[in-house]
Amino acid sequence: MWMKLRARILLYIVIVLGTPLSSAPETADLEKQYREAAAQLVCQCGGCREQLTVCGMQNCHSATPMRAEIREKLQAGMTVEKIVDGFVARIGKQVLAAPTLKGFDLTAWIMPLVMFALGLIVVSWIVVRMARPAAAAEASAPVIVDPRVERELKDFEEES
């Protein structure tokens, strides 16, 4: 009888001590996931437009509840993607710190590169044009002389 009681007590101790260790994610892993989610979202207070990880306003009416919600959802077992998608569904795309790589948002990533390339082409064209000698343009231009001026020059040469 004492053996069965000892076995049950030992079993309860193993279950009680073993369950939280196996089901709860590590604190360091939760903190890493929290930082990952908070870095993808922007404070919605209307003043700072900072990422949640760097919003420094004390008792911010937007960042503080958003941070708490992220922590709660991570502790409940939600993934970072689902948390971010939930904020986007509730608030809109303006909550994202960076545009997505889909649809029209892709232009925000592509256009700076296109404009940089276009700028290089324009600057190169201007430099090449400035480096050309201007004498070639002067030699090919026809000289237009008024007949009256030619007569006066001819008279002047005859007098001298």
Question: Per the domain annotation, does 146 fall within a domain?
Answer: no
What's the rounded Cα separation, in Å, for the pair 55 and 116? Answer: 31
Question: Per the domain annotation, does 149 fall within a domain?
Answer: no
Total domains in the fold of the chain: 2
Range of 107's domain? 100-131
The contacts of residue 51 (CB under 8 Å, 6+ apart) are 38, 39, 40, 41, 42, 43, 97
The average confidence (pLDDT) of the chain is 82
Question: Per the domain annotation, does 69 fall within a domain?
Answer: yes
Domain boundary residue, one of 55, 78, 98 = 98
What confidence tier does 17 reach under pLDDT thresholds 50, 70, 90? Answer: low
**Judgement on whether residues 106 and 127 belong to the same structural domain of the protein:** yes
**Judgement on whether residues 77 and 121 belong to the same structural domain of the protein:** no
**Judgement on whether residues 68 and 105 belong to the same structural domain of the protein:** no
Rounded to two decimals, the pTM is: 0.56
